[in-house]
Structures are given as C-alpha cells and as structure tokens.
Amino acid sequence: MRTIDWVDGAVELIDQTLLPDRLEVLRITTVDGLIDAIRRLAVRGAPALGVAGALGVALAVATERDPGPAVARLRAARPTAVNLAWGVDEAAARIPEGPDAVLARALAIRDDDVAACRSMGERGADLLAELLGDRPLRLMTVCNTGGLAAVERGTALGVVQTVHERGRLAEALALETRPLLQGARLTAWELARMGAPHRLAVDAAGPFLLARGHADAVLIGADRIAANGDTANKVGSYALALGARRAGVPFVVVAPETTVDTATATGADIVVEERAADEVVTFRDRRIAPEGTDAVNPAFDLTPHDLITAIVTDRRVIRLDMGETLASVPPGARMP
C-alpha cells in the first residue's frame, strides 16, 4: 500500500492524523486541500512531502487558470523539509511543456522514491554490519521515517526493516516523539505490521537508555542536510546525538539525495518550523497545562555534523567519523 499516490486525476494519501486507530485514505482534488493536509500532518515526512509537492503541481495545472500563486503557496506550506520545495520546483519546471509533462515528472519522483528507499535500506544495513559486525542489533530511532514518511518503504526505518528482513534485528527502540507522537502512533504501527520486535520509550529516556547500553546504534532521518553535513530532523534528534556520542554509539543519518541541500551552507541557515503552542499545551484536544500557559514548539532541531557518524543516502555513504564530507564523496561513490 502506498502512502501517497496519483489516482484517477487526484492525490490520494493515507490520513496519518487518524493512525493507528483508523486507516483511511483522503482523496484530494485541490491545491488548497493538499496544503491543508500538509499543514496538519495528514501527509508528512520529507520524502512524502517531496512527492506531495510534485503531485500538487499537477493538481494546480489541472485546476487553476493561473497555477503560479497556488504553486507558490504549496511550496511554502512547511519550511524545513527541502524535499517539498524541491518536488514543487521539479514539477513546476515542466509547466511550459504542458500538463502531461508535469504529471510525468511527478510520477517519476514518486517512483524514484521507492527505488531510493530500497537502496538506502541496503546501504544502511551494510554499514551497520561493517560498524558493528554481523550480529543481532538493537536500533533506536525517533519520529517516523518509515513507509508512511515516504511512498512505500522508508529511510532510517527502512534500514531497520532491511536489518529485520536479514534476520539481524534484536529490537527496534522507537521514541514516542512529543508532541504529535509520530513514533508512538506511526512507527510502532509500522514495526508491528513488519512483525519486527520493538518497544516504545519516552523521548527523554533516549540518551539515558544509550548510556545504559540499550541500543547498538541510533538511526534518524532528515528534513534537510546542509552542505557541511549539519542535519535538521525531528526535535529530539540533537539530544540523541549528544547521548550517542557520550555513550560511544554510532549515530547515523539516513536520507535520500533529494534531502541534501548544498545551497544551504550550515545548519545555522536552515529555517526550523515553529508550530502552534496548542500542540504542546494540549493532548488530544484536552488542555494539560494551566490555562494561559504559552509554549515554544520547534518541530525540528539541528544536529551538528561532528556528532554524526555517517550519512547514508541512496547513492553514497559518507563516513563523517573518518573525515569524509559531502564534497569529498560524490553521489555514486561506493556503489555496490
């Protein structure tokens, strides 16, 4: 089953706000409907947002007399994951060639994602075997980087899936991911469907569990990787990277090439989405903090490149721990 697809002239996507209780598909026929789905995280995760952006341009071309303003609004629906703007730009570049060319590019982006996630799974699992040996692994992860964050298979969770398929997963430790609980709601759901052994932990337990030796490696996805390797990902990633470094545990970023943004020099230049205070002071629409409490709610944080052991993409593995950089290991290096 695909997280997002183009079906009979519309975008269809799994409504992730309803999981794990209900598995429902939303059929979206307007760009504004898609923007709303993106903003409320019915569709989310960097690779899925890239596909959504591209398919959204196809919708804009089909429904708007002048698609320009709708395309610009779609591009800005969420700021941190570079894939959204990338997907929009890729499809929009075909507008002069007509609607069929736009749709063809969007569908190619969808298909490329499926292949890229398979490649990341293999490369990531190979890297873990290289770093840790051919033994059962306990892998910690945050947020949701599985098929729900992409089209069919995921990035960091795709590596967990590949390790499981190779018979080498002792346990996946998923962090719940406050405030929207992508780990508890989505990652636990995916791991159960995979038949993978797993447990859930609160976010704050992550670094301590690493210190106590409960995981052999940490795998995270990425929303944007700057030219120097600094990585924006779900808030909580930075604390895990610090904990992993202190515990001597490998900390691996897994993301497609489309998440690498060489136009952004360092993490300091990445815009981190600030979401509504309501997400923090309420839980499932019930207020949990005293009335009037304000909140700060960054959706992402930045992990400096020097805390990252390796970046795994669909086309290369960059061993930052060995002094390699995105510039010194070009895409296509270390192909199997």
Report whether 166 belongs to an annotated binding site. no
**Alpha-carbon distance values, 324 to 256, 308, 310 (Å):** 18, 11, 9
- 22-47 core/surface letters (b: 16 or more CB in 10 A; e: else): eeeebebebbebbbebbeebbbbbbb
By the 10 Å C-beta count (0-12 exposed, 13-18 middle, 19+ buried), 325 is classed as: middle
**Binding status of residue 19 toward ligand MRU by CB under 6 A:** no
Check if 223 is active-site. yes
Catalytic residue among 113, 203, 223, 261: 223
One-letter amino acid at 279 equals E
In this structure, are residues 73 and 35 in contact, taking their beta carbons and an 8 Å threshold?
yes
**Binding status of residue 113 toward ligand MRU by CB under 6 A:** no
- Piece of 40-48, 206-214, 304-312, 319-327 that binds ligand MRU (CB under 6 A): 40-48
Smallest distance, ligand MRU to C-beta of residue 306, A = 20
Looking at the Cβ atoms of 51 and 150, the one nearer to ligand MRU is 150
Report whether 182 belongs to an annotated binding site. yes
Of 86, 181, 91, give the one whose Cα is nearest residue 143: 181
- Alpha-helical segments (H) within the chain: 31-39, 46-63, 68-75, 82-92, 99-132, 156-165, 188-194, 206-211, 237-247, 278-281
Smallest distance, ligand MRU to C-beta of residue 328, A = 24
**Binding status of residue 13 toward ligand MRU by CB under 6 A:** no
**Binding status of residue 3 toward ligand MRU by CB under 6 A:** no
**Binding status of residue 5 toward ligand MRU by CB under 6 A:** no
**Binding status of residue 224 toward ligand MRU by CB under 6 A:** no
Which residues bind to ligand MRU, rule: CB under 6 A? Answer: 41, 44-47, 81, 143, 145, 149-150, 154-155, 182, 221-223, 233-234, 299
Q: Residue positions in the annotated binding site? A: 44-46, 78, 182, 233-234
- Residues known to be catalytic: 223
Q: Residue positions in the annotated binding site for substrate? A: 44-46, 78, 182, 233-234
